Amino acid sequence: MTTDEEAPATRVDGRTQRAERTRRAIIDALLALHREGSLNNSAAQIAGRAGVSLRALWVNFKDMETLYAAAGTRLAEEMRAEHRPVPPDLPLPERVSAFCRQRARMLEIMAPSARAAYLKLPVSPQLRRNRAIQIGRVRDEISTLFAGELDAAGPERPRLLNALLIAATFNAWQMGRDDLGLEAAEVCEIMIKTMTGLLTH
């Protein structure tokens, strides 16, 4: 039997756990819809897929921007779980290959939600923030992994960094996968050749 002091704490803890399960179900529903190719979803569609009421969605997320922020965090967690740092002391060809193959995995994970985000970027500050965070992470990784080559570029360092970043981010990946209809492995090889050419020019 619980004491009078324990009972309220138990009730609060139970409510917290239920709220967290509901939040997770809503985020999972949004990401699942994206993976299935459903890119422009209403709150009602997301709630229906999550198996919760529309009211429950708005209780847990005050607006769609808040949901987009939570989904961005979840997606980043999924990518971090699959990320394996590339040793910076590898020879350049091995560094480029390892980096690009890992980027290919990361881009395939984020692609469904990135495609959906593009539809709403002009009207969603949060989706633009999510995108900026992703780009910043890739910029930092390139800056660290290819620090020697970037420093050797001297005054051209900023341009080289930007060129490498463009080659490794979603816009180029989407063109290869969606516009040209290439397989992921083919686009990855193009990324390897592009970055190798830039770093050895």
CB 56 within 8 A of CB 22: yes
Give the model's pLDDT for residue 12: 59
Looking at residue 4, its pLDDT comes to 55
Q: Which CATH architecture has domain 6-61?
A: Orthogonal Bundle (1.10)
d(CA 80, CA 96): 19
* pLDDT score, position 7: 57
Q: Which residue has the tokens 């990518």?
A: 79
Supply the pLDDT for residue 6.
Answer: 55
Which amino acid is it at 36?
Answer: E
Domain definitions of the chain by residue range:
6-61, 67-200
pLDDT at 128: 96
pLDDT score, position 1: 46
- Cβ burial of 128 (10 Å; 0-12, 13-18, 19+) is middle
Task: Identify the sign of the CA torsion 57, 63, 64, 69.
Answer: negative
Nearest C-alpha neighbor of 96 from the set 43, 167, 155, 183: 167
Supply the pLDDT for residue 11: 57
Per-residue pLDDT in tens (0 to 9) along the chain, 201 residues:
455 555 555 555 778 888 899 999 999 999 999 999 999 999 999 999 999 999 999 999 999 999 999 999 999 999 999 999 999 999 999 999 999 999 999 999 999 999 999 999 999 999 999 999 999 999 999 999 999 999 999 999 999 999 999 999 999 999 999 999 999 999 999 999 999 999 997
Summarize pLDDT for 153-169 with one digit per residue, the tens.
999 999 999 999 999 99
